[in-house]
Every structure is written in structure tokens, then in C-alpha cells.
Amino acid sequence: MKRKGAAKFSLLATIVIATGCSSKTSDRVEITYWTGWSGHEFGIQQGLVNEFNRTHPTIHVRLVSQFGNSGYQKVRIAFAGNATPDIMSTVWADELADYAERGVLTPLDNYLAKSGRNFDAEYVPALQHSLRVDGKVYGLAVTTDTGFIVFNKKTFREVGLDPEHPPKTPEALKEASRRCTQVDADGSMKRYGYRPTDLRMWAHVFGGDWYDPKTGQVTANHPKNIEALKWIVSFNSFIDPKRAEAFQATFGNEKTTSGPFFVGKIAMWQTGEWASEYLRRYGPQVEYGYFPFPAPADGRPNSTYQNGSVFVIPSACPHKKEAWEFLNWLTSEYPVRIFSSTIGNVPPLIQVKDTPRFTKDKLFKFAVNLSHGKNGFGPPGIPMWPTYSAEISRAEEKAVVGGEDPQKVLDDLQRRMAKEFAETKEDLGR
């Protein structure tokens, strides 16, 4: 009997622990918050949570770290088992639509309105789109990111390029890359200029799209997407993709002094706002400049892809009011300023842009302005985007490394994704 009792108890304990749901202790409501941040970033979150707990006597937030990939997978399982916390930041912007369309997230529009917040006036354009699904806001963010190219001025001078006038068109970028690329007599690479590897992003720069919200159709073989892929493939004329990949395998970690840009293995580095810190720490000897992804005349200048962690309130947990109170505070100006400036991420709130941390550092200022611009963009807000996105990379590899025809691979991708999308919609509609 005793044993049975123990078993019952442990089962109960497991259920209680596993659900992680909020519980009411005395007159303080305890809510659970899952975060994906770890290390010193977790510490800063914890500091903010402590501050909230101190200043809000009726709510107690319990911060739980769900670090790493398994943390993000756990989210899925938690949704499946109705065992979600009250609030979590362990959802990628990529996945937001997938969850929202399945009805497991709380739409935040009413809460935002009640708290007197103006989402569109507060958030940068890219996030206005990517945090919305079917017109409703499902997530908020405290950080965002950006992408651009940092280049080595000394190398530019050596190969006869003007370091004060970095490339302004894709063709100019290709030419600059060609000039910076050095290949040994036996064909192995010593340095390359720039090697485009992100069709998802470059298609946007070229003016293409992966999804058309007006028609509600995927547009994988958009003419501009094909143009972008052809341009990426054209780099093969001076950078042999197999050689390049073997060469890339020798690259050291970017977070060390042996990062490829710091040791001169690449002359142009596709990176983000973190470059400012990395350059200071690991490559102080490099004389560098930076420029946004150059767009063709009919493309989108100053494009930058913005993904990142998103805060959501699952629809399953009971203390939504308290969860919102916490989220409302955490996404307000002061905590966002503290968090984004201490961890060195771009703030998603327009007002926070002029924090000295972001304006004093020239590179950071450039990064922040870029991600606050009108051509910042995020995931297209459709379910199945993670799958679609992985398939875009496969298609790109088929064309670049496998030598298949760009038009053909994207037509093929379109056919498969259109079918997949139709099936997903049908499944969601039932």
C-alpha cells in the first residue's frame, strides 16, 4: 500500500511539475515564464524579472530556462499536452504563424488596446508584419536583429577597389568579390571576397517574395526569386562551390580571433549588429567598413532579414491577466532598453533607438537604423514556414552546388510547396 501511495504521489508530482502551470500562493499569483536565453543573457532577464516581482506585489514571476534546441521543441510538446507555462519567449518568429493558426496562442490586440499601447507606432516595420498573423498580433519582442556586409578596407585598396565607395548593386558586389578572391595554383582557395548563401534573403533584396498575402499563394518561382538565384549561381564562375565549401570548413569560430574575417580568409563578411562587439574583441587590427546588401535598381535597398525570439501567451493557461501585466511591463521602453543594450541586440521598439549605447557606436547605429527601416522584413507569417524555409535552402544547394537550372529548381519548389500549403490550409480549416 505504501508503495502504491508513493507511486501515486510521484505521478501527481510529475504532473504538477510537467504542467508548470501557474498556481496561486496566498494572495500572490505565481506565473511561470519560459525563456530560451542562457548564460549572462539569462542573468539579465532574471534581473528584470526580479525587478518586476519587487515592484508588483500581487504577481510573482518564476523564470525557467529552456535552453537550446530541445527547449524550442519542448514548446511543441507542451502545446500538445496543454502543459504550457503562462508566458514564454521560446518561440521563433518563424514558427509564430504555425502556432497561431492552430489556435494555441492568445491574440494580444485587446490587451494592447486596454493597456493603451499602439503596436504600430511602437514596433519597427518588419516586426509589425512578422508578429501578426491574419491581421492579429500574437507575439511581442524585446530584441530583433539585422544583417549587412562588413568589408576589409585594406584588401579593397590592394585589389584596386575604392574602400570609401563600397558596392551599390549586386553586379558591383560580384565584381568586388571576384577581385578579392584569390585561388592558389593548384586550385585551392586562399581568400574569397563574398559568397552569397542565403537565397531566402537575397530574393527579397532583388524584389522577390516567397508568399503573396493578396492571393494567399506561395510564390517560390517569382521571377525576381529566379533572378536572385541566377545571380547567386553566377558566382560559381570564380568561386568553385566545392572548393569554397572545403575552404569554409577551415573557418574558425566567429567568436574568436581566428574568425575568417579577422584572419583575412574572407574580404567581406555577412554579419549583423554583433559584429561591432566581435570586431572590437577579436579583430581590432582590421580596418573595416560596412554596407547594406546592395539591391538592383528595381529591388529593395537596405533590406535586412529579422528573425528572433517572440513572447507569446498560450491560450491554455488561466492567469492571462497577470501574464499580460508582466509582458506589458517587459516589452515597455525601460526593460527593452536595458535588455537590448546590455546584450547588444537591436531593440525592436522605435523609441529605444536613441539609447547612447546604440548611437555612440557608429556600426551599431547603422545596424539599428537598418533594422528600423522600411525594407526590414521577417518571416512571411504563414504556417509551414520552417519547412518552406528549409526547402528553399535545399533548392539553392541544388542549383549552386548540384548545377541544376535555377528556373527548374524553383518551379519544382513552387509545385511542391503550393501543394503542401494547400494541404496545410485544408488541415487547418477542418
Partner 1 sequence: MTRQKATIQERRQFRNGLLFALPWLIGLTVFGIYPILSSFYYSLCRYDGIRSPHFIGFQNYHKLFFEDDLFFKALYNTLYMVGLGVPLSIICGLSVALLLNQKIKGMAIYRTIFYLPSVVPVIASSILWMWLLNPDIGLINIVLHHLGVAHPPAWLGDPAWSKPALLFMGLWGVGGGMVIYLAALQNVSESLYEAASLDGARTIARFRYVTLPMITPVILFNLITSLIGSFQYFTEAYVMTSGGPQDSTQFYALRLFNSAFQDFHLGYASAMAWILFLITLTCAFVVFKSSLKWVYYEGETR
Residues that bind partner 1 (CB under 8 A): 73, 76-77, 79-80, 98-99, 102-104, 186, 188, 242, 245-247, 249-250, 384, 386-387, 390, 394, 397-398, 401-402, 416, 423, 427, 430
Task: Please say whether the dihedral angle defined by the alpha carbons of residues 280, 284, 289 and 295, taken in this order, is positive or negative.
Answer: negative
Q: How far is the CB of 43 from partner 1 (least distance, A)?
A: 27
Q: How far is the CB of 18 from partner 1 (least distance, A)?
A: 16
Cell numbers that stand for 112 in this block: 494592447
Q: Which is nearer to partner 1, 52 or 99 (CB)?
A: 99
End-to-end C-alpha distance for the chain, whole angstroms: 47
Q: Which is nearer to partner 1, 247 or 290 (CB)?
A: 247
Q: Which is nearer to partner 1, 99 or 262 (CB)?
A: 99
Rg (CA), the chain: 24
DSSP 361: S
Q: How far is the CB of 70 from partner 1 (least distance, A)?
A: 10
Q: Which is nearer to partner 1, 342 or 387 (CB)?
A: 387
Q: Which is nearer to partner 1, 56 or 416 (CB)?
A: 416
User: Strands (DSSP E) along 272-332, which ranges?
Assistant: 288-291, 304-305, 309-312
Q: How far is the CB of 248 from partner 1 (least distance, A)?
A: 8
Query: Which residue type is seen at 219?
Result: T
Helix (H/G/I), strand (E/B), else coil: 212: strand
Question: Between 223-234 and 385-400, two packed helices, what is the crossing angle to 10 degrees?
Answer: 40
Q: How far is the CB of 426 from partner 1 (least distance, A)?
A: 9
Q: How far is the CB of 68 from partner 1 (least distance, A)?
A: 13
Contact 347, 337 (CB under 8 A): yes
Q: Which is nearer to partner 1, 243 or 353 (CB)?
A: 243
Which CA distances in Å does 244 have to 196, 400, 401, 416?
A: 11, 11, 10, 30
Q: How far is the CB of 52 from partner 1 (least distance, A)?
A: 30
Q: Which is nearer to partner 1, 183 or 343 (CB)?
A: 183
What's the CA gap between 324 and 86, in Å, rounded?
A: 9
Helix (H/G/I), strand (E/B), else coil: 23: strand
Q: How far is the CB of 225 from partner 1 (least distance, A)?
A: 20
What's the CA gap between 251 and 294, in Å, rounded?
A: 25
Query: Which residue type is seen at 375?
Result: N
Q: Which is nearer to partner 1, 36 or 207 (CB)?
A: 36
What's the CA gap between 197 and 202, in Å, rounded?
A: 9
Helix ranges (H only) for 210-311 are: 223-234, 241-248, 275-282
